């Protein structure tokens, strides 16, 4: 069976969908990111690309790098700092629990 050739438009649309999916996942992984902020970032990217006729990868580059950039712009600094402190405490507690589990007799 012959493999179908994708048209340029179909290939770009598929790339756009992959880019947006990657952006959403990476944004969701950022400290203290909530659903409304992720949706706002996706809305902003979509509006920009529609208004200017650009493709997301061309306009914003790598979705991972853009997710980090967008998070710094969209999440208030105090909320992001609080999330980092929380993550540090959780990591420290995990370390203590692991060490306690390594002690013989416990």
Q: How far apart are the first and last CA of the chain?
A: 63
Q: Would you say 32 and 75 are in contact if contact means Cβ atoms under 8 Å apart?
A: yes
Q: What is the pLDDT of residues 28-59, one digit of tens each?
A: 888 777 888 889 889 999 999 999 999 899 99
11 Cα distance to chain centroid? 23
Q: What is the pLDDT of residues 72-95, one digit of tens each?
A: 887 665 555 565 666 777 778 777
The whole-number pLDDT of residue 1 equals 44
Q: Scan for tokens 């340029």, then name that residue.
A: 8
Q: What's the full length of the chain, in residues?
A: 106
Q: What are the Cα distances from residue 90, in Å, to 48, 60, 78?
A: 38, 33, 18
Greater confidence (13 vs 97) lies with 13
């Amino acid at each position: 069976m012959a493999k179908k050739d994708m048209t340029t438009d179909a290939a770009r649309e598929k790339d756009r969908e992959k880019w947006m999916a990657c952006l959403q996942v990476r944004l969701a992984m950022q400290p203290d990111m909530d659903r409304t902020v992720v949706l706002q970032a996706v809305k902003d990217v979509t509006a920009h690309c529609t208004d200017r006729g650009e493709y997301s990868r061309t306009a914003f580059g790598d979705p991972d790098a853009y997710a980090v950039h967008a998070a710094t712009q969209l999440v208030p600094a105090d909320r992001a700092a609080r999330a980092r402190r929380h993550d540090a405490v959780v990591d420290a507690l995990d370390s203590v629990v692991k060490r306690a589990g390594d002690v013989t007799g416990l």
